[in-house]
Amino acid sequence: MEKVTDYFGCNVFDDRIMKATLSEKVYKSLKRTIDRGTPLDISVANAVAAAMKDWAIEKGATHYTHWFQPMTGVTAEKHDSFISPAPDGRVIMEFSGKELVKGEPDASSFPSGGLRATFEARGYTAWDPTSYAFIKDGTLYIPTAFCSYTGEALDKKVPLLRSMDAINRQALRILRLFGNTKVKVVKTSVGPEQEYFLVPAELYAQRKDLIMSGRTLFGAMPPKGQELEDHYFGSIKQKVSEYMADLDKELWKLGILAKTKHNEVAPAQHELAPIYSTTNIAADHNQLTMEVMQKTAKKHGLVCLLHEKPFAGVNGSGKHNNWSLSTDDGVNLLSPGETPYENAQFLLFLVAVIKAVDDYQDLLRLSVATAGNDHRLGANEAPPAVISIFLGDELTGVLEAIEKDIPYGGYEKEKMQLGVDVLPKFSKDTTDRNRTSPFAFTGNKFEFRMLGSSNSISCANIHLNGAVAEVLKQFADELEKADDFSTALHDLIRRTISEHKRIIFNGNGYDDAWIEEAERRGLLNMKTTADCMPRICDKKNVDMLTSHGIFTEAEIYSRRDIMLENYVKAVNIEALTMIDMARKEIIPAVAKFASDTAKGVSVKASVSGAECKYEKRIISELSGLVDKMDEATSALEEAAAELKGIGEAVPASEFVRDNILPKMDVLRIAADKAETLTAEDYWPFPTYDKLLFGVK
């Protein structure tokens, strides 16, 4: 057996390969660019390109691609071969620094939300040297950012890098105030836990809804769901375990730190978590992970569903965004320290995050809003659409003591003096309440749990980084002016706790009472994408995002439209798929079963004079349901036709929320009821029991 340490990262042009293949001068210059963002000289780019090409060709690659993340939610790539004609009719393999640094894909076929109308159709991709190049399927992949010719971001990476820059600038100001002159860079790190479902490929192929929309649009609950709680952390089935082993291996070859795997709550649901890394690398790796998950599943006769809600009635899939902030000398700024000085600094960063989440609840909510994720958030599933922060009782107690200037219970009798006292040791919170929170402090990081399983993690982190950067800026502005730093710091922390403690909630997020309580506290509860997405254009949000250079105003409006259009398109496809399945599959099947049953009645009655109570009831109920489905389908058809006529993104999304989705529900309820009355042989596609329990 091959050893993991032998093949880990074998397809990655990583630091080890750079050191081995580049001259010392080129290597050092590239390292400076990677670590500190200093501009790269073209001669250095040429040398790196040559080394990359030789290494890639050695590994069997014939092509290279600039790999980027347009607003479609998936990644994009255009492959060019290395070949270049030689005078003697043969070819040589070439790859220049210019080709490494910049690509020019036609931007006109990617969503730009109006930016294209105002600017040129051409776009360019720019190498992101902080994320390693890698080889996949015979092609050298170069991670890049994607912009219009005039510099507008057309992707998710450009604003992500800008947001990391913003938080770096402001966090450094704070550290300087604490007398720290050594730290050069502060970076955010993310470890995204990824949930997914596996279903047998041959069953998937028989369901138009799964093929077209990634989720089941019809389906009655089987007798068994997740109520026995026997799946979570349960022993892993052979076929799944083989899949997971293969997946780990493929990810490791790509240098992805796949670490943990286990069964999740719902039947057929699983999770994979990597070890955390710098946010832009984590984002690249998560996109790659989702791709490799789907590809590897095919090899095993399975399909990997990344949709947020593939099945009604059992848990959906999310992605937990574990987020922290650390310095280049390895200090986690969200980790309670050993000394009073470190503790004061920790508390300042902690309350900064609390204020940021409270001030920008809307931005965080909308950063994870998609048609798919709306089925989890605000739909009786964790977490709710209301954003709150879990801190645990101990830390909440400390903040309370600071705010009210009273002794901290359980800890000495003394009042806490910032910068003088050491914080008590917090034991890791292991309560179940924590798991229901949308935004939980877990010892030395925050876990943002609202992301959907298919979301790119970029959007959530752009807004989170931006919000925290803004608060750190306000803090730095205030503290830099202060005559007495300690007093000003103490006042600032106290005031922040008192103004923003409404966002802290340590109770059970599943509880309906919490939603009422949240309303009393004035927290936002935005259930759908249509409700929250337009708020990205609120003045407060535009001011924050533009002042930190994360987005231009034009980019913000374009993103609102793109995200709303994606929502409208996704639901529209679902509606059309439902119409198709109802008209061509479900209604004919149910009608046929009813009429076959009717034929049986006449035969039976003529022979025996039997009453045929069962048959008559079934025929009557099913005929009623067939009519209902027919009506509901027609109503949905009309609504879908009306939607076509609405051009603007905001009214279209509202129409989807108010007209299309409720009509889809009416059709589904009738069809699911019919499923429970129709003989299994007649049902036109595989049912939930087979999909959820079909993998052996």
Residues at the interface with Mg ion (CB under 5 A): 320
Q: State the Cα–Cα distance between residues 320 and 519, nearest whole angstrom.
A: 25
Nearer to ligand ADP, 188 or 541 (CB): 188
Question: Using CB under 6 A, which of the segments 89-97, 133-141, 270-278, 303-311 binds ligand ADP?
Answer: 270-278
Q: Cβ of residue 349: shortest distance to Mg ion, in angstroms?
A: 21
Print burial letters for 582-599: b (CB count within 10 Å at least 16), e (below 16): beebbbebbbebbeebbe
CB atoms inside a 10 Å sphere around CB 84 = 11
Q: State the Cα–Cα distance between residues 421 and 418, nearest whole angstrom.
A: 6
Q: Taking CB under 6 A as the rule, does residue 273 contact ligand ADP?
A: yes
Give the residue nearest to ligand ADP (CB): 191
Q: Cβ of residue 193: shortest distance to ligand ADP, in angstroms?
A: 6
Is the link from the previous residue into 192 a cis peptide, with omega within 30 of 0? no
Q: Cβ of residue 598: shortest distance to Mg ion, in angstroms?
A: 55
Q: State the Cα–Cα distance between residues 155 and 551, nearest whole angstrom.
A: 11
- Size of residue set near ligand ADP by CB under 6 A: 15
Give the residue nearest to Mg ion (CB): 320
Binding to ligand ADP (CB under 6 A) within 276-295 occurs at 276
CA separation (Å) from 452 to 377, 465, 575?
A: 9, 19, 21
Which helix or strand (DSSP H or E) is residue 368 part of? none
Give me the phi and psi of 376, to 5 degrees please.
-95, -60
DSSP secondary structure letter of residue 456: -
Q: Residue 275 binds which one of ligand ADP, Mg ion, none, with CB within 5 to 8 A depending on kind?
A: ligand ADP
Q: Taking CB under 6 A as the rule, does residue 327 contact ligand ADP?
A: no
Q: State the Cα–Cα distance between residues 447 and 334, nearest whole angstrom.
A: 12
Nearer to ligand ADP, 193 or 250 (CB): 193
C-alpha of 133 from chain center: 23
Q: Residue 343 binds which one of Mg ion, ligand ADP, none, with CB within 5 to 8 A depending on kind?
A: none
Q: Cβ of residue 373: shortest distance to Mg ion, in angstroms?
A: 17
Q: Cβ of residue 323: shortest distance to ligand ADP, in angstroms?
A: 6
Residue type, 554: A
Residue 231 is encoded by which pair of tokens? Answer: 């799946």
The three-class DSSP label of residue 587 is: helix
Q: Return the residue of 275, 420, 605, 610 that touches ligand ADP, per CB under 6 A.
A: 275
Nearer to Mg ion, 453 or 659 (CB): 453
What mask of x and - would describe binding to ligand ADP in positions 168 to 207, judged by CB under 6 A? ---------------------xxx-x--------------
Q: Which among 545, 388, 383 is positioned nearest to 462, based on CA atoms?
A: 545
Question: Using CB under 6 A, which of the segments 32-40, 143-151, 441-449, 603-611 binds ligand ADP?
Answer: 441-449
Q: Which among 141, 123, 117, 121 is positioned nearest to 131, based on CA atoms?
A: 141
The three-class DSSP label of residue 99 is: helix
Q: Cβ of residue 257: shortest distance to ligand ADP, in angstroms?
A: 8
Q: Cβ of residue 498: shortest distance to Mg ion, in angstroms?
A: 30
Q: Taking CB under 6 A as the rule, does residue 444 contact ligand ADP?
A: yes
Q: Return the residue of 296, 322, 528, 529 that touches ligand ADP, per CB under 6 A.
A: 322
Q: Which residues bind ligand ADP (CB under 6 A)?
A: 189-191, 193, 273-276, 322-324, 332, 442, 444-445
